[in-house]
Chain A
Amino acid sequence: MKKRTDKRLAEGEATGHAHVAQAEDAEVFGDGFERRLAAPTGTTISHEEHGKISLPVGNYRISRQREIDPDTEEIGSVAD
C-alpha cells in the first residue's frame, strides 16, 4: 500500500472533512475504504465534527462501516 502524505484515514464526500492521524511519526497507507495506520508512539485521531480519540501504540486496520442501499439492496461502505 502506498504511504499517504496527508495521514488521512478517511474523508467525507459531503463535507470535505477528514479523519486524520495527528502524531508526527504516524503513517497511513492505502486509498479508498481500506487503509492501514502505523502509530509507533500512539496517535490522536481528529475530525472537524468528531471529538478526538487517542489510540495506543500499534498498527491498525482501517475500514468503514457498511450499510445497505435501500433501493438496490447492494451492500457497501457508508458514504458520508
Chain B
Amino acid sequence: MKTKIERLSSEQEAEVSVWRDRYWDIGTCTDPIDRAKAADAISRMYGFIGKEQPIFVWCESPFTSSLAVSVLRSSLSISLWDSLQDSLRDSLWDSLWDSLSISLQDSLSISLWDSLWDSLQDSLSISLRDSLWDSLRDSLRDSLPDLTVWGSAVWWLCFYRFCGYIGVRYSEEAALKLALYEQFACSAFWAWPYAEICIVSARPNCLRWTKKYGVLHCDGGPAVQFRDGWTLWYLNGVRVPQWLAETKDVDLAPARICQCKNAEVRREFVRKVGLDRIYHALGAMLIHEQTVTLATPYSEAWSCRYRLCEMRCGDNVRRRVLEMPNPSLPGVLHVEYVPVQCETVEQAMNFRLNRSEEDVDDDAGADWFLHGDVIIVPEQAGRLKRWPARIA
C-alpha cells in the first residue's frame, strides 16, 4: 500500500501563503484577455473530451457574453460544462485520494481553499451571477441564458496545484489538463462552452476589495467594471445602487433611507451616513427600548439593545423602525420598518416574527432560532419562547 503524505515540511508550510497569494492574484487579475492562450487552452480541453476546436465568440464582460448566449441560443447545442468538469476532476481525484491523508486534505482545504473561496467564489462569482440575473431578467425574460460558467474556480486550481507541489503525482494527462485549466484562468475570465461554439468573457478592468481575501467594496466609485462598461457598485460585499456608492457620505440626504428597500442595502446606508445623523435629521423619537441577553456563536450572554423609534422621512409621514445590532458584525446596526401601531419592542418583534402575544410562552414554549432574518422553528411547536435560543 502506498504511503500517504501526512503532513507538510516546514518549507512547504511556509509556501502555503505564497501559493495562496499567487492564485489570489490570478483570480483578481484585471489584465486584458489573451485570446491566443485562452483559445489554445480551450481547444485542447475540447480535444480531451473528443470535440473539435469550437468557433470562439469573444466578449468583454459576462453581461455581453450572456447576451451572446441568448442571441445564439438556436445555434447552440448541448453545454459541455459537465463533460469538461468531469474530465478534469475524475483524473485528478484518484491521485489525490491515493497520495494525501484525509487530515492533510482537510487542513489544506482550510488554508488554501477557504480564503480564496470566500472572496473569489462568494464575493465575486456568485455576486456577478446574481447581478447578471438581475440585469438580464428584465430585457430577456423567457430567453435567459444558462448562467453556469466554466473556468472561474481558482481556489480549486490552487488546491490541486499545491498538492502537486508537495508530492501528489498526477498522471501525465491529468497534469496537462490542470495546466490547461490554469492557462485559461490566467488568460480570460469565464467561458460558456458548447459543442461548436465557445463564448468567452474577458476579465474586469477594475476590481476593488475591502482587503486581500476580503469582499468587494468601493466607497466613491465602482467596485467592478468591465471594458464594455458593465459596472457594479458594492459596499462591504453588498451590491448597492450607484448613488449610494458614489455620493459622499456628507452629501447623502438621510431621508433617502426610505429608498433602501433591501435590508442589506439599508444596513450599508446606515453604516455610511451614520444612524445618529439619520435620527437627528429625521427628527427621530425613541418610543421604547429593551436590552435582552441572548446566546450567539461567540458569546453565551450577548447584550442586545433593541430600540423602537419613530421618524419622518421629509414627507411628514410617521414611520417606525426597530433598531438592533448585528450579532455577527460588531458595530453594524440594522433598522427595519414596523407598523406605527407598535408601541413596544416586544410588539415590534411579534410583528417581525408574524406572531401574536398569545403565541409566546416563556415557561413551556419551544426553543427557536434566528439566523439573520431567517426564523427556524421546530415543526410541531405551538407556543414559542419570546426570544431565540440562539441568534447569529
Q: Which A positions have Cβ atoms within 8 angstroms of B?
A: 9-10, 12-17, 19, 36-37, 45, 47-55, 58-71, 73, 77-80
Contact = CB atoms under 8 A, between A and B. Distances in A.
Given A15-B239, A79-B263, A51 B297 contact: yes
B363 interface: no
A49 B378 CA distance: 24
A66 to B, nearest CB: 5
B373 A64 contact: yes
Interface string B353-392: 1100000000000000111111111111000000000111
Contacts of A69: 261, 337
A70 B258 contact: yes
A13 B329 CA distance: 19
B376 to A, nearest CB: 5
A45 B122 contact: no
Interface of chain B, main secondary structure: mixed
Given A52-B297, A65-B353, A58 B337 contact: no
A67 B374 contact: no
Nearest to A17: B122
A48 B118 contact: yes
B130 interface: yes
Interface in B266-298: 296-298
Interface of B: 118, 122, 126-127, 129-130, 134, 237-240, 258, 261-265, 296-298, 313, 319, 327-329, 336-339, 351-354, 369-380, 390-392
Residue from the set A15, A19, A80 with the largest chain B CB neighbour count within 10 Å: A15
A77 to B, nearest CB: 8
10 contacts: A16-B127, A47-B371, A49-B329, A50-B327, A52-B297, A55-B376, A64-B375, A66-B351, A67-B263, A70-B313
Contact of A63 (B127, B130, B239, B354): B354
B369 A53 contact: yes
Contacts of A37: 376
Nearest to A16: B126
Nearest to B380: A59
A76 to B, nearest CB: 9
Contacts of A48: 118, 122, 237
A78 B263 contact: yes
Contacts of B261: 69, 79
B263 A60 contact: no
B353 A45 contact: no
Given A47-B372, A48-B118, A67-B352, 18 more contacts: A9-B376, A16-B127, A19-B372, A45-B392, A48-B237, A50-B372, A51-B327, A53-B371, A53-B391, A55-B369, A55-B376, A58-B378, A61-B376, A63-B375, A64-B373, A65-B374, A66-B353, A79-B262
Nearest to A44: B297
Contacts of B353: 65-66
Contacts of A80: 262-264, 372-373
